[in-house]
């Protein structure tokens, strides 16, 4: 599938690795930075979603998405593991749960960007309706362009996703996009329980924040993984 991820916020908290690893299936190896695991709340706007070589499906190509994720290693490759992905569209939710083995959830969700460039304000809200309950709202003010350091590269330079299906079958989906254009961001408001709904303890302290105007993305068909990663 091809898609654009626009008006995106990375809000990251660090955790002890064993706290996060216990939530991953057998065979999925947690990735860490300087001995710490990272969990992110990531709201953004999906744009121009389509299956490659086919036209977009009317009414389902553009919508908000809010995901909770962490970072893993798949056969030596840095990848993303999703705890949840909330969208307000039933059809993409059902398709993604089936085709990409991802824990998509149906929710009332919105991501809005007021203004452009530094000083713009991004707000996100989600109220999960299926298959479980959860809520989140966050607002940030966009700052100046950010030159990525080692931590920012670790958190964003991910070219694949790992997912699991019934019977703990593991899958890898290659992801292709340009490097993220990043800005700093200032936290204005946060009220979230999607992270704890994933089974994690409540995060401590303010999150590490990065805003991006977005990238254009291709997600390729899943590849079956051996259990030994």
**DSSP state letter for 212:** E
Please check whether residue 195 is in contact with residue 13, taking contact to mean a CB–CB distance below 8 angstroms.
yes
- Render pLDDT for 16-35 as a digit per residue (tens, 0 to 9): 999 999 999 998 999 999 99
Please tell me the chain's helix, strand, coil percentages from 3-state DSSP, rounded to the nearest 5: 15, 55, 30
Q: Is residue 30 part of a domain?
A: yes
Is 79 contained in some domain?
Answer: yes
Q: Is residue 229 a part of any domain in this protein?
A: no
Q: Could you tell me the CA-to-CA distances from 29 to 22, 38, 74, 160 in Å, in that order? A: 10, 13, 7, 14
Residue 106, C-beta contacts closer than 8 angstroms, at least 6 positions apart: 86, 87, 88, 90, 93, 128, 129, 130, 131
Q: Per the domain annotation, does 41 fall within a domain?
A: yes
Say which CATH number the domain at 118 has.
2.40.400.10
Residue 103 lies in domain? 2-224
Residue carrying structure tokens 């086919």: 54
Q: Answer yes or no: are the C-beta atoms of 85 and 65 closer than 8 Å.
A: yes
Interval 204-210 mean pLDDT: 96
Q: What is the mean pLDDT of the chain?
A: 91
Within a domain: 83: yes
Confidence (pTM): 0.92
Q: Which of 47-56, 107-116, 216-225 has the lowest mean pLDDT?
A: 47-56
Does residue 70 have a pLDDT over 90?
yes
CA distances from 123 to 182, 203, 226 (A): 17, 20, 40
> What is the C-alpha to C-alpha distance for residues 108 and 94, in angstroms, rounded to an integer?
15
In a domain, 200, yes or no: yes
**What pLDDT, in 10s, does the model give residues 74-123?**
888 999 999 999 999 877 677 767 777 889 999 999 999 999 999 999 99
Give dist(CA 208, CA 137) in Å, integer.
16
Domain count, the chain: 1
């Amino acid at each position: 599938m091809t898609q654009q991820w626009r008006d995106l916020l990375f809000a990251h908290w660090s955790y002890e690795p064993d706290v996060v690893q216990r939530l991953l299936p057998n065979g999925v190896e947690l990735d860490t930075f300087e001995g710490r695991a990272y969990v992110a709340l990531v709201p953004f706007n999906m744009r121009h979603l389509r299956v490659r070589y086919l036209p977009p499906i009317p009414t389902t190509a553009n919508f908000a998405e809010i995901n909770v994720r962490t970072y893993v290693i798949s056969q030596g490759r840095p990848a993303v593991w999703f705890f949840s992905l909330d969208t307000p569209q039933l059809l993409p939710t059902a398709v993604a749960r089936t085709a990409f083995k991802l824990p998509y959830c149906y929710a009332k969700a919105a991501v809005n960007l007021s203004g452009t460039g530094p000083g713009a304000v991004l707000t996100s809200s989600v109220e999960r309706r299926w298959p479980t309950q959860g809520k989140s709202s966050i607002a940030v003010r966009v700052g100046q362009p950010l030159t990525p350091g080692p931590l920012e590269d670790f958190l964003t330079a991910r070219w694949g996703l790992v997912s699991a299906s019934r019977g703990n079958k593991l899958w890898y989906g290659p992801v292709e996009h340009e490097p993220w254009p990043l800005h700093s961001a200032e936290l204005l408001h946060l009220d979230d329980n999607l992270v704890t709904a994933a089974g994690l303890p409540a995060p401590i302290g303010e999150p590490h924040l990065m805003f991006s105007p977005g990238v254009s993305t291709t997600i390729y068909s899943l590849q079956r993984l051996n259990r030994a990663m």
